Structure 1
Protein backbone atom coordinates (compact mmCIF):
# COMPACT_ATOMS: atom_id res chain seq x y z
CA UNK A 1 0.00 0.00 0.00
CA UNK A 2 1.36 3.40 -0.99
CA UNK A 3 2.04 5.72 1.93
CA UNK A 4 0.23 9.05 1.98
CA UNK A 5 1.05 11.89 4.40
CA UNK A 6 -2.59 12.92 4.30
CA UNK A 7 -5.15 11.24 6.59
CA UNK A 8 -7.90 9.18 5.02
CA UNK A 9 -11.36 10.71 5.08
CA UNK A 10 -13.15 9.58 8.27
CA UNK A 11 -16.58 8.03 8.28
CA UNK A 12 -18.93 11.06 8.12
CA UNK A 13 -21.38 9.45 10.54
CA UNK A 14 -18.78 9.55 13.32
CA UNK A 15 -19.16 13.29 13.88
CA UNK A 16 -22.90 13.16 14.61
CA UNK A 17 -23.46 9.83 16.36
CA UNK A 18 -22.41 8.41 19.71
CA UNK A 19 -21.85 4.97 21.17
CA UNK A 20 -23.60 5.94 24.38
CA UNK A 21 -26.28 8.61 23.79
CA UNK A 22 -28.79 9.45 21.08
CA UNK A 23 -28.01 12.04 18.38
CA UNK A 24 -30.54 14.37 20.03
CA UNK A 25 -28.77 14.26 23.39
CA UNK A 26 -25.41 14.73 21.70
CA UNK A 27 -26.76 17.78 19.84
CA UNK A 28 -28.17 19.30 23.05
CA UNK A 29 -24.89 18.84 24.92
CA UNK A 30 -22.91 20.40 22.09
CA UNK A 31 -25.24 23.40 21.87
CA UNK A 32 -24.96 23.96 25.64
CA UNK A 33 -21.16 23.80 25.44
CA UNK A 34 -21.11 26.25 22.55
CA UNK A 35 -23.39 28.76 24.28
CA UNK A 36 -21.40 28.58 27.51
CA UNK A 37 -17.97 28.96 25.90
CA UNK A 38 -19.23 31.79 23.69
CA UNK A 39 -20.65 33.63 26.71
CA UNK A 40 -17.32 33.26 28.52
CA UNK A 41 -15.48 34.65 25.51
CA UNK A 42 -17.72 37.73 25.34
CA UNK A 43 -17.05 38.49 29.00
CA UNK A 44 -13.31 37.98 28.44
CA UNK A 45 -13.28 40.37 25.50
CA UNK A 46 -15.18 43.05 27.43
CA UNK A 47 -12.85 42.82 30.43
CA UNK A 48 -9.65 42.71 28.39
CA UNK A 49 -10.52 45.10 25.56
CA UNK A 50 -7.79 47.64 26.52
CA UNK A 51 -5.19 44.88 26.20
CA UNK A 52 -6.48 43.34 22.98
CA UNK A 53 -3.13 42.83 21.22
CA UNK A 54 -1.44 41.27 24.24
CA UNK A 55 -4.63 39.35 25.06
CA UNK A 56 -4.31 37.37 21.82
CA UNK A 57 -0.77 36.37 22.67
CA UNK A 58 -2.02 33.76 25.12
CA UNK A 59 -2.29 30.19 23.85
CA UNK A 60 -5.23 29.68 26.20
CA UNK A 61 -7.27 32.37 24.48
CA UNK A 62 -6.40 31.21 20.98
CA UNK A 63 -7.29 27.62 21.85
CA UNK A 64 -10.52 28.85 23.43
CA UNK A 65 -11.49 30.38 20.10
CA UNK A 66 -10.83 26.99 18.52
CA UNK A 67 -13.02 25.26 21.13
CA UNK A 68 -15.86 27.65 20.35
CA UNK A 69 -15.40 27.06 16.63
CA UNK A 70 -15.46 23.31 17.15
CA UNK A 71 -18.67 23.33 19.19
CA UNK A 72 -20.28 25.79 16.78
CA UNK A 73 -19.59 23.48 13.83
CA UNK A 74 -20.36 20.24 15.66
CA UNK A 75 -23.60 21.70 17.06
CA UNK A 76 -24.69 22.71 13.58
CA UNK A 77 -23.84 19.30 12.17
CA UNK A 78 -25.68 17.50 14.97
CA UNK A 79 -28.77 19.69 14.62
CA UNK A 80 -28.76 19.15 10.87
CA UNK A 81 -28.57 15.39 11.39
CA UNK A 82 -31.38 15.40 13.95
CA UNK A 83 -33.70 17.64 11.92
CA UNK A 84 -32.97 16.53 8.36
CA UNK A 85 -32.25 12.86 9.15
CA UNK A 86 -29.31 13.06 6.77
CA UNK A 87 -25.59 12.80 7.40
CA UNK A 88 -23.99 16.25 6.85
CA UNK A 89 -20.85 16.59 4.73
CA UNK A 90 -21.34 13.04 3.48
CA UNK A 91 -19.68 13.87 0.17
CA UNK A 92 -17.15 16.40 1.47
CA UNK A 93 -14.11 14.42 2.63
CA UNK A 94 -12.02 17.57 3.10
CA UNK A 95 -14.60 18.95 5.53
CA UNK A 96 -14.67 15.69 7.48
CA UNK A 97 -10.88 15.75 7.67
CA UNK A 98 -11.01 19.32 8.94
CA UNK A 99 -13.47 18.67 11.78
CA UNK A 100 -11.60 15.51 12.78
CA UNK A 101 -8.31 17.39 12.73
CA UNK A 102 -9.78 20.21 14.81
CA UNK A 103 -11.12 17.67 17.30
CA UNK A 104 -7.75 15.92 17.67
CA UNK A 105 -5.92 19.25 17.92
CA UNK A 106 -8.20 20.35 20.75
CA UNK A 107 -7.96 17.04 22.57
CA UNK A 108 -4.21 17.64 22.69
CA UNK A 109 -4.16 21.40 23.15
CA UNK A 110 -6.77 21.77 25.89
CA UNK A 111 -5.12 19.07 27.99
CA UNK A 112 -1.70 20.60 27.34
CA UNK A 113 -2.85 24.09 28.32
CA UNK A 114 -4.58 22.83 31.45
CA UNK A 115 -1.59 20.77 32.61
CA UNK A 116 0.89 23.59 32.04
CA UNK A 117 -1.28 26.32 33.53
CA UNK A 118 -2.19 24.60 36.80
CA UNK A 119 1.26 23.07 37.33
CA UNK A 120 3.52 25.95 36.23
CA UNK A 121 1.60 29.22 35.95
CA UNK A 122 -1.30 29.35 38.40
CA UNK A 123 -1.01 31.89 41.20
CA UNK A 124 -3.96 32.27 43.54
CA UNK A 125 -3.13 35.86 44.44
CA UNK A 126 -3.86 36.97 40.86
CA UNK A 127 -7.55 36.13 41.17
CA UNK A 128 -9.14 39.13 42.84
CA UNK A 129 -12.89 38.78 42.23
CA UNK A 130 -15.50 36.00 41.89
CA UNK A 131 -15.97 37.00 38.24
CA UNK A 132 -12.30 36.51 37.44
CA UNK A 133 -12.29 33.25 39.38
CA UNK A 134 -15.15 32.00 37.22
CA UNK A 135 -13.40 33.11 34.05
CA UNK A 136 -10.15 31.50 35.12
CA UNK A 137 -11.80 28.15 35.82
CA UNK A 138 -13.86 28.34 32.62
CA UNK A 139 -10.89 29.09 30.39
CA UNK A 140 -8.26 26.93 32.07
CA UNK A 141 -10.31 23.94 33.21
CA UNK A 142 -13.87 23.71 31.91
CA UNK A 143 -12.84 23.82 28.25
CA UNK A 144 -10.85 20.64 28.92
CA UNK A 145 -13.79 19.07 30.75
CA UNK A 146 -16.05 19.89 27.79
CA UNK A 147 -13.61 18.33 25.33
CA UNK A 148 -13.27 15.19 27.47
CA UNK A 149 -17.05 14.84 27.57
CA UNK A 150 -17.08 15.32 23.80
CA UNK A 151 -14.43 12.59 23.48
CA UNK A 152 -16.46 10.20 25.63
CA UNK A 153 -19.66 10.74 23.66
CA UNK A 154 -18.57 11.19 20.04
CA UNK A 155 -17.25 8.63 17.57
CA UNK A 156 -14.30 10.59 16.23
CA UNK A 157 -11.34 8.30 15.56
CA UNK A 158 -7.77 9.02 16.61
CA UNK A 159 -5.40 9.42 13.66
CA UNK A 160 -1.63 9.71 14.15
CA UNK A 161 -1.26 11.85 11.04
CA UNK A 162 -2.78 14.86 12.81
CA UNK A 163 -0.50 15.31 15.88
CA UNK A 164 2.55 16.33 13.78
CA UNK A 165 0.45 19.11 12.26
CA UNK A 166 -0.64 20.17 15.75
CA UNK A 167 3.03 20.27 16.80
CA UNK A 168 3.84 22.54 13.85
CA UNK A 169 1.00 24.88 14.81
CA UNK A 170 2.31 25.03 18.39
CA UNK A 171 5.77 25.97 17.13
CA UNK A 172 4.17 28.70 15.03
CA UNK A 173 2.47 29.92 18.20
CA UNK A 174 5.84 29.92 19.95
CA UNK A 175 7.16 32.20 17.21
CA UNK A 176 4.11 34.45 17.64
CA UNK A 177 4.61 34.64 21.42
CA UNK A 178 8.24 35.64 20.90
CA UNK A 179 7.17 38.30 18.39
CA UNK A 180 4.77 39.71 21.00
CA UNK A 181 7.66 39.76 23.48
CA UNK A 182 10.08 41.48 21.11
CA UNK A 183 7.52 43.86 19.58
CA UNK A 184 5.52 44.86 22.66
CA UNK A 185 7.85 43.96 25.51
CA UNK A 186 5.22 41.66 26.98
CA UNK A 187 6.25 38.17 28.06
CA UNK A 188 3.20 35.96 27.61
CA UNK A 189 4.57 33.19 29.82
CA UNK A 190 7.60 33.55 32.13
CA UNK A 191 9.27 30.40 30.79
CA UNK A 192 9.36 31.86 27.26
CA UNK A 193 12.09 34.31 28.23
CA UNK A 194 14.75 33.22 25.74
CA UNK A 195 17.33 35.33 27.56
CA UNK A 196 17.28 32.63 30.23
CA UNK A 197 18.43 29.80 27.99
CA UNK A 198 18.28 27.10 30.65
CA UNK A 199 14.71 27.93 31.70
CA UNK A 200 13.57 28.37 28.10
CA UNK A 201 15.09 25.08 26.95
CA UNK A 202 13.79 23.14 29.95
CA UNK A 203 10.28 24.51 29.46
CA UNK A 204 10.22 23.59 25.77
CA UNK A 205 11.47 20.11 26.64
CA UNK A 206 8.74 19.66 29.25
CA UNK A 207 6.05 20.85 26.82
CA UNK A 208 7.26 18.39 24.16
CA UNK A 209 7.27 15.54 26.69
CA UNK A 210 3.76 16.38 27.91
CA UNK A 211 2.61 16.64 24.28
CA UNK A 212 3.85 13.12 23.51
CA UNK A 213 2.38 11.65 26.70
CA UNK A 214 -1.02 13.23 25.98
CA UNK A 215 -1.02 11.82 22.44
CA UNK A 216 -0.26 8.30 23.67
CA UNK A 217 -2.87 8.49 26.43
CA UNK A 218 -5.53 9.81 24.06
CA UNK A 219 -4.76 7.06 21.54
CA UNK A 220 -5.26 4.43 24.26
CA UNK A 221 -8.43 6.09 25.55
CA UNK A 222 -9.92 6.20 22.05
CA UNK A 223 -9.25 2.49 21.66
CA UNK A 224 -10.92 1.78 25.01
CA UNK A 225 -13.91 4.00 24.21
CA UNK A 226 -14.47 2.31 20.86
CA UNK A 227 -14.14 -1.13 22.44
CA UNK A 228 -16.72 -0.26 25.09
CA UNK A 229 -19.02 1.22 22.47
CA UNK A 230 -18.88 -1.86 20.27
CA UNK A 231 -19.37 -4.13 23.27
CA UNK A 232 -22.46 -2.21 24.38
CA UNK A 233 -23.91 -2.22 20.86
CA UNK A 234 -23.75 -6.03 20.76
CA UNK A 235 -25.54 -6.50 24.06
Structure 2
Protein backbone atom coordinates (compact mmCIF):
# COMPACT_ATOMS: atom_id res chain seq x y z
CA UNK A 1 0.00 0.00 0.00
CA UNK A 2 1.47 3.43 -0.94
CA UNK A 3 2.43 5.79 1.87
CA UNK A 4 -0.26 8.39 2.56
CA UNK A 5 0.74 11.07 5.12
CA UNK A 6 -2.91 12.13 5.39
CA UNK A 7 -4.20 8.60 6.02
CA UNK A 8 -5.42 9.50 9.51
CA UNK A 9 -7.71 12.15 8.01
CA UNK A 10 -9.54 9.99 5.47
CA UNK A 11 -13.20 9.42 6.26
CA UNK A 12 -15.18 11.03 9.11
CA UNK A 13 -13.40 13.28 11.54
CA UNK A 14 -12.58 11.54 14.82
CA UNK A 15 -15.69 9.28 14.84
CA UNK A 16 -15.09 7.94 18.36
CA UNK A 17 -14.01 11.31 19.84
CA UNK A 18 -10.45 10.32 20.61
CA UNK A 19 -9.39 13.92 21.18
CA UNK A 20 -12.04 14.33 23.89
CA UNK A 21 -11.86 10.98 25.67
CA UNK A 22 -9.56 8.92 27.85
CA UNK A 23 -9.13 5.20 28.29
CA UNK A 24 -9.24 5.75 32.07
CA UNK A 25 -10.92 9.06 32.94
CA UNK A 26 -14.58 9.93 32.26
CA UNK A 27 -14.94 12.87 29.85
CA UNK A 28 -16.06 15.29 32.57
CA UNK A 29 -13.00 14.43 34.68
CA UNK A 30 -10.68 14.76 31.67
CA UNK A 31 -12.20 18.17 30.95
CA UNK A 32 -11.61 19.19 34.58
CA UNK A 33 -7.95 18.12 34.47
CA UNK A 34 -7.40 20.06 31.26
CA UNK A 35 -9.09 23.13 32.69
CA UNK A 36 -6.98 23.02 35.86
CA UNK A 37 -3.78 22.66 33.80
CA UNK A 38 -4.78 25.64 31.67
CA UNK A 39 -5.57 27.78 34.71
CA UNK A 40 -2.25 26.89 36.33
CA UNK A 41 -0.24 27.76 33.21
CA UNK A 42 -2.08 31.04 32.60
CA UNK A 43 -1.67 31.95 36.28
CA UNK A 44 2.05 31.18 36.09
CA UNK A 45 2.54 33.25 32.94
CA UNK A 46 0.57 36.23 34.22
CA UNK A 47 2.31 36.11 37.61
CA UNK A 48 5.69 36.13 35.86
CA UNK A 49 4.65 39.17 33.83
CA UNK A 50 3.49 40.96 36.98
CA UNK A 51 6.68 40.02 38.82
CA UNK A 52 8.89 41.23 35.97
CA UNK A 53 7.00 44.52 35.76
CA UNK A 54 7.22 45.17 39.50
CA UNK A 55 10.87 44.08 39.87
CA UNK A 56 12.29 45.48 36.62
CA UNK A 57 15.67 47.16 37.01
CA UNK A 58 14.75 49.39 34.08
CA UNK A 59 11.32 50.35 35.34
CA UNK A 60 8.07 49.50 33.61
CA UNK A 61 7.34 46.26 31.75
CA UNK A 62 10.00 46.25 29.04
CA UNK A 63 11.67 43.13 30.46
CA UNK A 64 8.29 41.37 30.64
CA UNK A 65 7.77 42.16 26.96
CA UNK A 66 11.10 40.56 26.13
CA UNK A 67 9.73 37.25 27.45
CA UNK A 68 7.67 36.83 24.28
CA UNK A 69 10.88 36.41 22.27
CA UNK A 70 11.75 33.15 24.06
CA UNK A 71 10.73 29.80 22.61
CA UNK A 72 10.17 28.50 26.13
CA UNK A 73 7.58 31.17 26.87
CA UNK A 74 5.82 30.88 23.52
CA UNK A 75 5.48 27.11 23.84
CA UNK A 76 4.18 27.54 27.41
CA UNK A 77 1.51 29.93 26.12
CA UNK A 78 0.74 27.27 23.51
CA UNK A 79 0.19 24.71 26.28
CA UNK A 80 -2.09 27.13 28.13
CA UNK A 81 -4.29 27.75 25.11
CA UNK A 82 -4.31 24.10 24.07
CA UNK A 83 -5.56 22.93 27.46
CA UNK A 84 -8.17 25.71 27.51
CA UNK A 85 -9.46 24.78 24.04
CA UNK A 86 -9.26 21.04 24.77
CA UNK A 87 -11.17 21.53 28.03
CA UNK A 88 -13.99 23.32 26.19
CA UNK A 89 -14.22 20.60 23.52
CA UNK A 90 -14.12 17.86 26.14
CA UNK A 91 -16.72 19.54 28.36
CA UNK A 92 -19.06 20.01 25.40
CA UNK A 93 -18.65 16.33 24.53
CA UNK A 94 -19.24 15.25 28.14
CA UNK A 95 -22.44 17.33 28.23
CA UNK A 96 -24.03 16.44 24.90
CA UNK A 97 -22.12 13.56 23.33
CA UNK A 98 -20.92 15.90 20.58
CA UNK A 99 -17.74 17.94 20.84
CA UNK A 100 -17.68 21.56 19.73
CA UNK A 101 -14.75 20.49 17.54
CA UNK A 102 -17.13 18.26 15.55
CA UNK A 103 -18.87 21.37 14.22
CA UNK A 104 -15.67 23.11 13.09
CA UNK A 105 -14.60 23.26 9.42
CA UNK A 106 -12.31 20.42 8.45
CA UNK A 107 -9.39 22.86 8.09
CA UNK A 108 -9.68 23.85 11.77
CA UNK A 109 -9.95 20.19 12.76
CA UNK A 110 -6.67 19.54 10.92
CA UNK A 111 -5.11 22.49 12.74
CA UNK A 112 -6.31 21.12 16.08
CA UNK A 113 -4.52 17.88 15.28
CA UNK A 114 -1.35 19.83 14.43
CA UNK A 115 -1.83 21.84 17.64
CA UNK A 116 -1.84 18.53 19.52
CA UNK A 117 1.44 17.57 17.85
CA UNK A 118 3.07 20.85 18.87
CA UNK A 119 2.15 20.51 22.55
CA UNK A 120 3.32 16.89 22.68
CA UNK A 121 6.67 17.61 20.97
CA UNK A 122 7.89 21.15 21.67
CA UNK A 123 7.83 20.83 25.50
CA UNK A 124 10.33 17.95 25.31
CA UNK A 125 12.54 19.98 22.97
CA UNK A 126 12.43 22.92 25.40
CA UNK A 127 13.22 20.70 28.38
CA UNK A 128 16.12 18.96 26.62
CA UNK A 129 17.71 22.18 25.32
CA UNK A 130 17.34 24.01 28.62
CA UNK A 131 18.68 21.37 30.99
CA UNK A 132 21.16 19.97 28.48
CA UNK A 133 22.58 23.20 27.04
CA UNK A 134 21.48 26.36 28.87
CA UNK A 135 21.35 25.38 32.55
CA UNK A 136 24.79 25.45 34.13
CA UNK A 137 23.95 25.39 37.86
CA UNK A 138 24.13 25.80 40.77
CA UNK A 139 20.49 25.41 41.72
CA UNK A 140 18.46 28.62 41.94
CA UNK A 141 18.90 30.32 45.32
CA UNK A 142 15.52 32.10 45.12
CA UNK A 143 12.34 30.06 45.46
CA UNK A 144 10.66 32.18 42.77
CA UNK A 145 13.38 31.41 40.21
CA UNK A 146 13.26 27.69 41.01
CA UNK A 147 9.45 27.58 40.71
CA UNK A 148 9.50 29.58 37.47
CA UNK A 149 12.06 27.35 35.79
CA UNK A 150 10.59 24.08 37.03
CA UNK A 151 7.15 25.17 35.80
CA UNK A 152 8.38 26.15 32.35
CA UNK A 153 11.20 23.65 31.80
CA UNK A 154 10.05 20.50 33.62
CA UNK A 155 6.31 20.57 34.28
CA UNK A 156 5.76 21.42 30.63
CA UNK A 157 6.98 17.96 29.63
CA UNK A 158 4.93 16.36 32.38
CA UNK A 159 1.79 17.98 30.98
CA UNK A 160 2.73 16.79 27.48
CA UNK A 161 3.08 13.25 28.84
CA UNK A 162 -0.40 13.51 30.34
CA UNK A 163 -1.83 14.16 26.87
CA UNK A 164 0.17 11.31 25.37
CA UNK A 165 -0.61 8.71 28.03
CA UNK A 166 -4.05 9.53 29.38
CA UNK A 167 -6.02 10.30 26.22
CA UNK A 168 -7.20 8.06 23.37
CA UNK A 169 -5.49 9.90 20.52
CA UNK A 170 -3.95 7.97 17.65
CA UNK A 171 -0.52 8.62 16.12
CA UNK A 172 -0.78 11.85 14.15
CA UNK A 173 0.00 12.17 10.40
CA UNK A 174 3.72 12.12 9.67
CA UNK A 175 3.30 15.25 7.55
CA UNK A 176 3.16 17.11 10.88
CA UNK A 177 6.96 16.93 10.94
CA UNK A 178 6.94 19.52 8.16
CA UNK A 179 4.67 21.80 10.20
CA UNK A 180 6.84 21.46 13.30
CA UNK A 181 10.04 22.26 11.39
CA UNK A 182 8.34 25.23 9.72
CA UNK A 183 7.31 26.61 13.11
CA UNK A 184 10.90 26.24 14.34
CA UNK A 185 12.11 28.11 11.24
CA UNK A 186 9.62 30.91 11.88
CA UNK A 187 10.83 31.13 15.47
CA UNK A 188 14.42 31.40 14.27
CA UNK A 189 13.35 34.41 12.23
CA UNK A 190 11.72 35.91 15.32
CA UNK A 191 14.93 35.40 17.30
CA UNK A 192 16.95 37.43 14.81
CA UNK A 193 14.22 40.08 14.53
CA UNK A 194 14.55 40.41 18.31
CA UNK A 195 18.30 40.90 17.92
CA UNK A 196 17.76 43.58 15.26
CA UNK A 197 15.04 45.47 17.15
CA UNK A 198 15.98 44.96 20.81
CA UNK A 199 19.72 44.36 20.63
CA UNK A 200 20.06 40.99 22.33
CA UNK A 201 20.17 37.30 21.43
CA UNK A 202 17.46 35.29 23.14
CA UNK A 203 19.82 32.31 23.21
CA UNK A 204 23.59 32.64 23.30
CA UNK A 205 24.17 29.85 20.77
CA UNK A 206 22.52 32.04 18.09
CA UNK A 207 25.26 34.67 18.40
CA UNK A 208 27.65 34.46 15.38
CA UNK A 209 30.35 36.17 17.49
CA UNK A 210 30.70 33.08 19.66
CA UNK A 211 33.48 30.58 19.12
CA UNK A 212 32.64 28.57 16.02
CA UNK A 213 30.70 31.39 14.37
CA UNK A 214 27.99 30.76 11.80
CA UNK A 215 29.02 27.14 11.32
CA UNK A 216 28.27 26.33 14.92
CA UNK A 217 24.93 28.16 14.71
CA UNK A 218 24.00 26.07 11.68
CA UNK A 219 24.95 22.92 13.58
CA UNK A 220 22.77 23.90 16.56
CA UNK A 221 19.82 24.80 14.34
CA UNK A 222 20.12 21.59 12.32
CA UNK A 223 20.55 19.55 15.49
CA UNK A 224 17.42 21.02 17.09
CA UNK A 225 15.42 20.40 13.91
CA UNK A 226 16.59 16.77 13.76
CA UNK A 227 15.94 16.41 17.48
CA UNK A 228 12.40 17.71 16.96
CA UNK A 229 11.77 15.10 14.28
CA UNK A 230 13.17 12.37 16.53
CA UNK A 231 10.98 13.49 19.43
CA UNK A 232 7.94 13.42 17.13
CA UNK A 233 8.80 9.85 16.13
CA UNK A 234 9.20 8.84 19.79
CA UNK A 235 5.85 10.43 20.65
CA UNK A 236 4.25 8.52 17.77
CA UNK A 237 5.71 5.33 19.22
CA UNK A 238 4.49 6.11 22.74
CA UNK A 239 0.98 6.74 21.46
CA UNK A 240 1.02 3.45 19.53
CA UNK A 241 2.24 1.55 22.60
CA UNK A 242 -0.39 3.21 24.82
CA UNK A 243 -3.14 2.19 22.39
CA UNK A 244 -1.77 -1.36 22.17
CA UNK A 245 -1.56 -1.76 25.94
CA UNK A 246 -4.86 -0.12 26.87
CA UNK A 247 -7.06 -1.22 23.97
CA UNK A 248 -5.57 -4.54 22.86
CA UNK A 249 -4.17 -5.97 26.09
CA UNK A 250 -6.44 -4.36 28.71
CA UNK A 251 -9.57 -4.10 26.53
CA UNK A 252 -10.17 -0.52 27.67
CA UNK A 253 -11.83 1.02 24.63
CA UNK A 254 -12.49 4.29 26.43
CA UNK A 255 -14.77 6.26 28.72
CA UNK A 256 -17.54 7.83 26.65
CA UNK A 257 -20.18 10.44 27.42
CA UNK A 258 -23.55 9.11 28.53
CA UNK A 259 -25.18 10.80 25.53
CA UNK A 260 -22.76 9.15 23.09
CA UNK A 261 -24.16 5.72 22.27
CA UNK A 262 -22.45 5.17 18.93
CA UNK A 263 -18.73 5.75 19.63
CA UNK A 264 -17.82 2.15 20.47
CA UNK A 265 -19.79 0.75 17.53
CA UNK A 266 -18.22 3.23 15.10
CA UNK A 267 -14.73 2.38 16.35
CA UNK A 268 -15.37 -1.34 15.80
CA UNK A 269 -16.48 -0.66 12.21
CA UNK A 270 -13.69 1.84 11.49
CA UNK A 271 -10.77 0.73 13.71
CA UNK A 272 -8.13 2.70 11.79
CA UNK A 273 -9.81 6.09 12.01
CA UNK A 274 -8.57 8.71 14.51
TM-score under structure 1 length normalisation: 0.91
| Structure 1 residue 234: Cα displacement | 6.2
Structure 2, unaligned stretches of length 5 or more?
53-60, 254-274
Matched, 1:36 2:49: no
Q: Give the counterpart of 2:26 among 22, 26, 32.
A: 22
- Match runs of 1:1-235 below 5 Å: 8=9, 10-11=13-14, 13-48=17-52, 49-92=61-104, 93-125=106-138, 127-157=140-170, 158-195=172-209, 196-231=213-248, 232-233=250-251
- Number of positions where the alignment pairs a residue of Structure 1 with one of Structure 2: 235
Distance 2:66 2:142 in 1: 21
| Structure 1 residue 4: Cα displacement | 7.7
Which structure: greater helix fraction? 1
Which range is displaced more, 120-129 or 71-80?
120-129
Distance 1:200 1:84, change over 3 A: same
Larger radius of gyration: 2
SS of residue matched to 2:69 = coil
SS of residue matched to 1:56 = helix
Distance 2:244 2:148 in 1: 36
Distance 2:3 2:234 in 1: 28
Deviation digits for residues 28-64 of structure 1 (CA, Å, limit 9, x no counterpart): 2111111111111111111233313421110001111
Distance 1:59 1:18 in 2: 30
Deviation digits for residues 155-180 of structure 1 (CA, Å, limit 9, x no counterpart): 22221121211110110100110111
Structure 1, unaligned stretches of length 5 or more?
none
| Structure 1 residue 115: Cα displacement | 0.5
TM-score under structure 2 length normalisation: 0.78
SS of residue matched to 2:25 = coil
| Structure 1 residue 108: Cα displacement | 1.3
